Structure formats: structure tokens, C-alpha cells
Amino acid sequence: MWFSIIITLMLAGLLAVLLIQWQRGRSGGAAAPREGNAAFTDRVPGTLTLTGVADKPIEGDKNHQAFCTVSGTITGPDTAPTDVYGRFVMPMSSAWPQIGDQVPVTYKPGKAESTWQIAGSIGGGPGTSGPDLRKH
């Protein structure tokens, strides 16, 4: 009798945990910064000036994409100029970023090196829009 009750409670608890994780997964993921989004309320905008860009490969993977590693310096409020790097998945059809490009980013004040994220597009040069990327 007690064994059946314990097993039933354990299964109910497991089901509750799975439902909670499933709900988190549906609302999680990479969100774009927007007003009212709690994930971005403590972030500030900045600019990443690219100082290094990996060469564009001749061909991409089966999805026509390739990794692009960039390095640069983040400047903005609440932080000294900070050197960072990141790796992104780029569509082969898009313009490859170039040294000197300025990319909008967001970061937590005082933690730009470890919390920065692309806030717009990268690549394409001045006046053009490249793909919307996320760090990998």
C-alpha cells in the first residue's frame, strides 16, 4: 500500500518537473532585446568594432552555412573598451563581416567580456543589413 502511494507521488512529481521544463523551453531561447523583456532589462547597448575576422571559406556545410570567428573591441556606457571574440554561424549567401565593421551589441554593465550578445546584424558593410546572428 505505502509502496504504491510513494510511486504515485514520485511519478506526479516527475510529471510536474517535466511540464515546468517544457514550459521554460517554449518561452526560452534567443530572444531579441525589447522593452519589457526581463532578460534584457539589466543590459546596456554598446558597439563592437571588428579588429579581426576569419577568412570566408570557399564552401559551406550541407546547409550552406559556415562558422565565422570575429574579434573586436566593445565600447559603450559603464565599461572600459573591452577586447572580445565570438564564433557565429553565417549563411554563405550573406556578405562576410570585415575588419572595421561596427556591430551593435548588448551586455551587462561591468561584464562586457562574458555577457555580450549581438543586438543587430553583422556583415554586409556600411548601409547594408547582414544576417541576425547569435553567438555559438
pLDDT in tens, 88-121: 888 888 888 899 999 898 888 888 888 888 887 6
pTM across the whole model: 0.60
The domain segmentation of the chain, as residue ranges, is 38-118
Question: For residue 61, what are the CA distances in angstroms to 57, 90, 109, 131?
Answer: 10, 11, 37, 17
Q: Is the predicted pLDDT of residue 135 greater than 70, yes or no?
A: no
Residues 136, 132: Cα–Cα separation, whole Å: 13
CB 4 within 8 A of CB 70: no
